[in-house]
Structure 1
Amino acid sequence: MKLRILALLALSSSATALWPFPSKRFKSNGLISAGELGLQGVQGRVVAFGDLNGDQFLDLLVLSEDQRKVDAWIWDHNAFSYIRSTTVASFIAGHIVNVVPADLNYDGRLDVLLMAIGKEGKQLDLSLHLGEGDNTNYSSPRTLPPSGLAQPIILDSDGNMKLNMLGLDPDGAMKLWRNNDDTSGTFTLTPSPLSSRACKLADPHSSAVVDFNGDCLADLFLSCEDQRFQIWTRSPGSQGGYVLAREGKLPKGAGAVSFADMDRDGTLDMIFPVCKSFSSKTGVGLDCSIHIVYNKQIPLCPSAGGISSGGGKSKCRSPGNLCVADDAFGFDFGENAGDAYSIIPLSSILPNHDSLLLTDTSHNPPLPVPLRIGDANLDGYPDVLAVVVGEASVDRVPVLLFSVPGKEGPSMSAANVLDVKPHVQQRFGITGNMTTAATSGTHHRRFFKSAKHGAEALAQITDARGVAFVDLDEDGTLDILVQRNGAQTGSRIAFIQNNFFQDAFFLKAIVLNGACPSGICEKSSGKYKPFGATNPGASFKYTVLDTRGERSAAFGTQLPQTGYQALHTPYAFLGLGRTNNYIETLTAGSTSPQSATTLEGVIPNSKLVLNPNTDGTDWRRELFLRPGEWMWWVLFTLVGATIILFVVVLVLHINEKREDERERKKALHHINFDAL
């Protein structure tokens, strides 16, 4: 009997070892607490994401609580955890306010740019730590010319894929930190590429490098003092330069601005919180609403052919020619904007909450807390991650708001949130009676609903000070990073695994900076792949057919912002929704001499790596497929079906041979009577 039991146990263990399906780490359908994932005891905060060692997994840069030390943490796929790698920098004087991972000396490795409060608290000292070797090793700091307190913007202003910085010098003048392109990471302070009409950057600001006019070339959004903004469009080519295209003013009480294609029409929209009152002591805004200002551009043609007016001007974009500039683009903040300007009171989404955390006062100086945008359910419409505040400004709870189809709902009129002086009316094109300001019913293109069922892991956190989307283990779902102040459990960092069942697809897309056109960098220190060297401001515009055969266009952007610990992933994460087909067309844009490339038939649930050439030749393309959990089931089904068909054919073949043999024997015994 014992021998039988031992034999059964041995057989069971052998079957388990041979079973190809790994056991699921997270089994519940919903948001699941994943803990600190190796960051136990860390008292600082995550300040940046990046692929520090080029293994295509997302690593972390963590700033200590006293803001004087930055550590690199590497993702270990096998351990499903972060492991501390090295200390990037340790400051003796001053405190670090921002960390930017970027390839600034154009060698295909991620470097680390540090911004720290400098001389008498009136300037930012900039230091650059160059990536060395084939791992996360960094050089001693290289000192760059200091800037004003408004953090500089990382961008490629010359169209050569080499990164410069745009910002204010300590005297308040707009300057360009031009990359000397000498592999040593040195910069020279030069005049700004913008005209004298450029505004003075606010501190803090939401400036971004994104495409506004639809040509897939990154333009420039400047967030200015007094809630004003400017949009400078970029002309193609290395000598293109910037032209002031739009300027305006945000509503009073507006928070940090984020950018995403909120209505899935292939254009980039603005989204930001607005609160009627704000406490600089707590960082909490009261009576808040979510504002979405939709970009007005030429729409996508419903069929493959474009429609033209009598003058030959296209009224719509054909799927094969998505990156055509529309110089008439615009954002309408006026009262008569209709559904092009949605103002959604937070209380209409969360009846028990109307307050948002707008700044994190535990950071020195206070850090903006923007609405985080990402497609958590892969339906093609970006969702919102925010921190809501309970009564008495005590509980600070992260919430996930899913984007849902628009509906009739409460909305504050534009007159109620804008300064409607005559010059403002003229600036925004506002017309009509601006004297009344009342809450009215308005149709919203998109609305939001809070994730309730399955979101208990988020709701249990009451000490959040910041949130961000992150794809843990690169499994194709947007998970959540919650930064905490430690008041609840002492923990400062928490990860929430997004384990909702999704019947939709995704695409990750990344444009590299072309430092190694062949896809492999060969340096004196050895060979390595430049997967971490991304191009800020790269754009992706694609068309896809849904299950009903309807075509839609969508837009995604890569690293639009790098200031004030923006916490963007180095790639664009695109939800595709439900589809039975490949991605019809995908156009990627960058600042390289060949500013865009178009692909057809891209496979969903994959990662697309594009590497431009600085000489203007064709881009290098790599597609990495993510093995799905269903892969083995498909293989087994295919093998099983093949075996069944083989057995059926074999049986039929044997039966036919037997029948032929019987007929042959009958013929042998047949008597030919005619012959007799």
Structure 2
Amino acid sequence: MRIPHSHAFIDLTEDFTADLFLTTLSATGTSQFEIWENVDGNFSSRTVLEKPQNMMVVGQSAFADFDGDGHMDHLLPGCEDRGCQRSAIYLARSGTEQWVPVLQDFSSKGTLWGFVPFVQEQHPMEIPIPITLRIGDYNMDGYPDALAILKNTSGSSQQAFLLENVPCTNASCEGAHRMFRVCWELTDLSHIREAQVATFFDIYEDGILDIVVLSRGHTRSDLAIHALKNNFEADAYFVKVIVLSGLCSNDCPRKITPFGVNQPGPYIMYTTVDANGYPKNGSAGQLSQSAHLALQLPYNVLGLGRSANFLDHLYVGIPRPSGEKAVRKQEWTAIIPNSQLIVIPYPHNVPRSWSAKLYLTPSNIVLLTAIALIGVCIFILAIIGVLHWQEKKADDREKRQEAHRFHFDAM
């Protein structure tokens, strides 16, 4: 095993069963990646993937549906020299062994930035942190973004930066169709000096991922935690999925569904139609990484973009024990956007009996729709009132004319 280690327990073969991903050392001492596929409940099929040839400092692997095709891709940050003067992020798409660079430009206004190289522990109060990407869809466009700690190569300052997932504009990333772009102009992040760790978290439980940053103060032992609210506002939707373990501490009571806690290894995938009528897929793994300060979310926030359509299908698969050939997978249909789905896989071996609880998260659009509906109702009532008043005036006029005609006839 490589030190520092970076492993994962996630479905990499598109069968809704978690496989085993290991970071190891080859016979020559270079980093390599082993994928042990779960075949009929046993990790028996081994595939070896070499690191990019020009990468000298290898960071911790991360997994995300980078291009929004419903399959897990392998993201690998690292450096092409020992001092991390030339940093890069490579991508290996699902089912391929080819590395594609998705970020190599780390320069801004004449300043070159790069990853912070991993240094073995030299001080009791200093914790070495490997190069790590923390994944999250901050703008809910359906393409996962990332947070990373970068260091000024000509100085000593380091900051947290948001890496936005955008369409590919370079010839080098055509194989991935997408790329990362560093957001240099986020002032709130740039004001936090000596950042050590940055990650996503839904602080307000509204489906919008906020940012939490750990920074160092004037002394090595002086640490501070900063929380940054995500002020992104757009007509974008999401679905938040939590897969529980469905276990009890002892024997489960009768007629009571056990909730348990968030379990590692589930695989989630959805299919829907975007605003233009084209099919759209997305996937994510829950608590898949086993790495240094992985800080993964205990849930999955899947961005849907500007499509308010229901999710046609949402699939959830959980790991199965050794020797079990049946895949533990269940499907739900017509999931409402901007909702939170809590999946309780109980009993584990009977997916048809799994239950799901759906909680809606109202957004500003709901409030605006209610205001518009009330306004339309008031307008209609005003029209009805005016017409009723005019009809009453006409009736009074007819009554006076009838009375006048009666008196004239009597004379």
SS in 1 for 2:81: strand
CA RMSD of aligned residues (A): 3.1
Change (3 A) 1:330 1:447: closer
Contact 2:142 2:302 in 1 (8 A): yes
- 2:98 equivalent to 1:332: yes
Matched residue, 2:92: 293
Contact 1:406 1:443 in 2 (8 A): no
Deviations along 1:185-237, one digit per CA (max 9) or x if unpaired, are: xxxxxxxxxxxxxxxx322222101111112221111111231221122245x
Following the alignment from structure 2 to structure 1, what is the Cα–Cα distance between the partners of residues 18 and 175? 31
Following the alignment from structure 1 to structure 2, what is the Cα–Cα distance between the partners of residues 638 and 667? 43
SS in 2 for 1:498: coil
Contact 2:134 2:146 in 1 (8 A): yes
For residue 600 of structure 1, the aligned residue among 307, 310, 333 is: 333
Matched residue, 2:115: 356
Change (3 A) 1:219 1:594: closer
Matched residue, 1:345: 104
Deviations along 1:28-53, one digit per CA (max 9) or x if unpaired, are: xxxxxxxxxxxxxxxxxxxxxxxxxx
SS in 1 for 2:204: helix
Shift of residue 652 of structure 1?
A: 2.7
Matched residue, 1:510: 242
Matched residue, 1:585: 313
Following the alignment from structure 2 to structure 1, what is the Cα–Cα distance between the partners of residues 153 and 101? 26
> What pairs up with 1:142-181 in 2 under 5 angstroms?
none
Matched residue, 2:287: 559
Following the alignment from structure 2 to structure 1, what is the Cα–Cα distance between the partners of residues 175 and 12? 24
Following the alignment from structure 1 to structure 2, what is the Cα–Cα distance between the partners of residues 473 and 634? 22
For residue 194 of structure 2, the aligned residue among 430, 451, 463 is: 463
> What pairs up with 1:19-30 in 2 under 5 angstroms?
none
Matched residue, 2:378: 643
- 2:297 equivalent to 1:573: no
Structure 1 range deviating more: 206-215 or 579-588: 579-588
Matched residue, 1:208: 8
Following the alignment from structure 2 to structure 1, what is the Cα–Cα distance between the partners of residues 336 and 74? 29
Contact 1:510 1:570 in 2 (8 A): yes
Instruction: Read off the aligned partner of 1:448 and give its amino acid letter.
Output: F
Change (3 A) 1:471 1:457: same
Shift of residue 611 of structure 1?
A: 0.6
Shift of residue 391 of structure 1?
A: 3.2
Matched residue, 2:136: 374
Shift of residue 389 of structure 1?
A: 0.8
Following the alignment from structure 2 to structure 1, what is the Cα–Cα distance between the partners of residues 398 and 287? 77
Deviations along 1:530-566, one digit per CA (max 9) or x if unpaired, are: 4x70121111111232222221211111111143231
Contact 1:462 1:488 in 2 (8 A): no
Instruction: Read off the aligned partner of 1:203 and give its amino acid letter.
Output: I
Equivalences, count? 384
Instruction: Read off the aligned partner of 2:62 and give its amino acid letter.
Output: S
Shift of residue 628 of structure 1?
A: 2.2
TM, length-normalised to structure 1: 0.52
Shift of residue 443 of structure 1?
A: 6.5
Change (3 A) 1:443 1:332: closer
Contact 2:118 2:129 in 1 (8 A): yes
Following the alignment from structure 1 to structure 2, what is the Cα–Cα distance between the partners of residues 535 and 444? 30
Instruction: Read off the aligned partner of 1:255 and give its amino acid letter.
Output: G
> What pairs up with 1:490-501 in 2 under 5 angstroms?
490-501=222-233
TM, length-normalised to structure 2: 0.83
Instruction: Read off the aligned partner of 1:241 and give its amino acid letter.
Output: N
Return 5+ residue gaps in structure 1 as ranges.
Answer: 1-200, 280-284, 296-328, 334-340, 412-441, 672-676
Identity within the alignment, %: 31
Contact 2:102 2:179 in 1 (8 A): no
Return 5+ residue gaps in structure 2 as ranges.
Answer: 321-325, 407-411
Change (3 A) 1:654 1:273: same
SS in 2 for 1:466: strand
Deviations along 1:113-167, one digit per CA (max 9) or x if unpaired, are: xxxxxxxxxxxxxxxxxxxxxxxxxxxxxxxxxxxxxxxxxxxxxxxxxxxxxxx
Matched residue, 2:68: 264
